Amino acid sequence: MSRELNGIVKAWEATVRKSATAKKRANSIFTTMSVAHVDDEDDDDEDEQASSSSQELCHTEKIFSNGDFYTGQWLDRFPHGHGKYLWIDGCMYVGEWIQGFTMGKGRFSWPSGATYEGDFKVFYMDGKGTYIGSSGDTYKGSWVMNLKSGNGNESYPNGDFYDGEWKKGLQNGHGRYQWKNGNHYVGQWRNGLFNGNGTMMWQNGNRYDGCWEDGLPKGNGTFRWCDGSFYVGVWSKDANEQSGTYYPSGSCDNHLEWDPQEIFITELSDCRVSPCEDVSIYPSEKILSLTGFDEGNKVTKQSIRKKVMGGNGKPRWSSVDGRLSNYCTEEGANGSGRNSALGGLGGNSVQSWHKSPQLRITASKRQGETISKGHKNFELMLNLQLGIRHSVGRPAPSASLDLKSSAFDPKEKVWTRFPSEGSKHTPPHPSCEFRWKDYCPVVFRALRKLFKVDPADYMISICGNDALRELSSPGKSGSFFYLTNDDRYMIKTMKKAEVKVFLKMLPAYYKHVRAFENTLVTKFFGLHCVKLTGAAHKKVRFVIMGNIFCSQYTIHRRFDLKGSTFGRTTDKPEAEIEPTTTLKDLDLNFIFRLQKSWFQEFCKQVSRDCDFLEHERIMDYSMLVGLHFRETTPTGNVTPCSRNSETCTPSGFGDGGPRLSGVDIDNLIVDPSRWIQLGINMPAQAEMALRRSNCDTPQLVGEPTGELYDIIIFFGIIDILQDYDISKKLEHAYKSIQYDPTSISSVDPRLYSKRFREFIFRVFVEDTTT
């Protein structure tokens, strides 16, 4: 036994050395970097003496070296209170300031004569405000990060008028548009065009009621004349798709010869929506030149350095999405350019998450490599498919959910021989001879029934004509993962120790998933083994699981969350993160807001699942989270939604359950599998969170910023087959010597469960915005 323990300890020493190297690499994200000072020591001493300015609120006038001018209240080193800032290009802001940020009520004017007066948040037009363009274009309403979003009305220079909902600066939702000539449209909009159900009324009394698409009638609709006659049919700009019936009014049949295409050619010709005036430069793009003051200025280069670098004299930066980084651009390093660390104080300081570009997502690629002929695991895939087809298709009595204890006996397994030439019970196949083992077949048959898995669909998904796909690299445990072509099932290779843990916990697992329909723990459908013949006698054990990311929605971001910090970050730079990249705890830059009813059920179920795993002495599990951003542009931009927008916030039925839009209901009629469940297809909001950049230790959950995104969220608890065995105890003891014991993954199941719950309940919160 001592020899075995020595072997384990040596193996762990080698593993920890590797992990320590990885840790250094991972910790580079939190490592500060030095910046060469261009000033000599004498200048620094003079600056240090000059930096003893009073921190009392005072009134000041300052002229900056680049010609900018500020007059108003001042605190320490920044505008604070009420003040006016005039840029040399003619732009001007007059209003409230907080520590160098435009916050509260203010007025921004452009050299062209355009003005905005209303609410500001960290240099953004955000809240209620009025924009008057240089040509007379006037918008009054809600704003979110410089864009019209929520309810508002627009008066156009040509006399047109719109009153309704906006999103991303365009008419979106329900609204009314009136032309100067008296024509008007009332109905649904999308991206600035009529889209959905709506009514167009002309000044002459004619009107169209029906469906629209991209600004034109499309689908079912009715055109009525002022004399009472009408035309009902399916509308399309393509005359070949147009069809309908004309109904005259009494004896009047003047429109019998009317061509429906006239509505596209003639009637709508004078119903063009006026474009909104473009903003030449947004207030958030203006830089405060707080460096290089005149002689009377008491803010020094040394104090600016401290502002940027923090107390230790070294800079710490935040990336676009709030993740910590140890690098900056060349512009940021030398203090020049729009994103300069020094030139952007106030508007672009270290804490200025608002100055980040829009959240962007790259095009999604299909995961994995298709296992085709010539692939090293092609024969293994054939063996697996033959075995599954045999196991599921084998005649058996109807599965009952009330199982005897003998069904869970680890010795309850069935071996089947598959010779190449075939046998009485197996078909001939091109692969080499192998043996197939089913573990506890009665239990897994009952689990498939419990999870409502149709046997025929199950076989088609795994054993159909489509090949499996192998993920590009094995997991941390060394296991390989395979996906079915329809993404429904994931197949994972297992070690013998994992199989033993699974079989030991199988009775409790079955009882748990049967008792709680909304359980978040992984759904298992089968446990098998392939034993290859020949000198190697290789055994491959694998389990078949459900894939929680199987959905019509594209997964744009995915996170694996444990609640620990040691090594919990990706090695990829931000530019290389793709939708298939699995990010970790220290990469998490969101807080997820769930509806009250869903949040309550979520909290209950997470506690139940953690109690079950703690009782079974399981640790090292994680919450796998997938996000689908509902509003993305073709270029991959994702913009925040308005707190006041109904289309942004998931609403509820009268009983507090989820309410679906008309589009969602149509999808459900076509595909009932898209129904919302806990952790599956759930509407929610993701709020951008920013970690403090001046912490000595990594901050696990960032501070909420108020920047909200409309999402569909998926989540589940995975990796539940690792118990706290002797190797994990040794790992905990060894790593605890070098690192904070609470920061590592390998801890006692009770502590792990407590830490996991506390972390998850900080990341998932109740949505109180509705």
For residue range 708-753, list pLDDT tens digits in order: 999 999 999 998 887 765 555 555 454 544 555 555 556 788 989 9
Contact 450, 514 (CB under 8 A): yes
Supply the mean pLDDT for the chain: 75
Phi and psi based region of residue 327 (left: phi greater than 0; alpha: psi -120 to 50; beta: remaining): beta
**Span of 45-59, 181-195, 562-576 with lowest mean pLDDT:** 45-59
What is the average per-residue pLDDT within 369-388? 87
**How far are the Cα atoms of 475, 481, 685 from residue 370, in angstroms, in the given order?**
18, 12, 35
As separate numbers, helices (DSSP H) first and strands (DSSP E) second, the chain gives 13, 36
pLDDT over 90, % of the chain: 23
**Span of 460-474, 617-631, 640-654 with lowest mean pLDDT:** 640-654
**Span of 312-321, 635-644, 645-654 with lowest mean pLDDT:** 312-321
What is the average per-residue pLDDT within 411-423? 88
CA-wise closest residue to 747 among 758, 733, 757: 733
Angle at 496 between CA 494 and CA 500, to 5 degrees: 105
Q: With cut-offs at 50, 70 and 90, classify the pLDDT of residue 448.
A: very high
Interatomic CA distance for residues 712 and 594, integer angstroms: 11
Tell me which H or E stretch contains 665. helix 662-670
Interatomic CA distance for residues 666 and 255, integer angstroms: 36
Contact 557, 321 (CB under 8 A): no
Q: pLDDT of 160-177, one tens digit each?
A: 899 999 888 888 889 999
Encoded tokens for 767: 């949505």
Give the residue carrying structure tokens 């009317």: 258
CA-wise closest residue to 650 among 601, 711, 605: 711
Q: 445 or 658: which carries more pLDDT confidence?
A: 445
- Contacts by 630-636, CB closer than 8 A, 24 or more apart: 630/710, 630/711, 630/712, 631/167, 631/168, 631/710, 632/361, 632/556, 636/360, 636/361, 636/362, 636/363
What's the whole-model pTM score? 0.54
3-state secondary structure 190-230: ECCEEEEEEEEECCCCCEEEEEEECCEEEEEEEEECCCCCE
The neighbour count for residue 1, using CB atoms within 10 Å, is 5
Contact 706, 127 (CB under 8 A): no
Interatomic CA distance for residues 566 and 718, integer angstroms: 19
What is the average per-residue pLDDT within 246-266? 69
What is the average per-residue pLDDT within 530-559? 86
Q: With cut-offs at 50, 70 and 90, classify the pLDDT of residue 363.
A: confident
What is the average per-residue pLDDT within 176-197? 88
Give the residue carrying structure tokens 């048959």: 445
Encoded tokens for 750: 């009770």
Q: pLDDT of 92-144, one tens digit each?
A: 999 998 878 888 899 999 888 899 999 998 788 888 999 998 888 899 999 88
Q: Which amino acid is at 627?
A: L
**How far are the Cα atoms of 305, 388, 445, 617 from residue 510, in angstroms, in the given order?**
61, 21, 12, 16
Predicted pLDDT of residue 728 = 53
Burial class (CB in 10 A: 0-12, 13-18, 19+), 88: exposed
Interatomic CA distance for residues 427 and 424, integer angstroms: 8
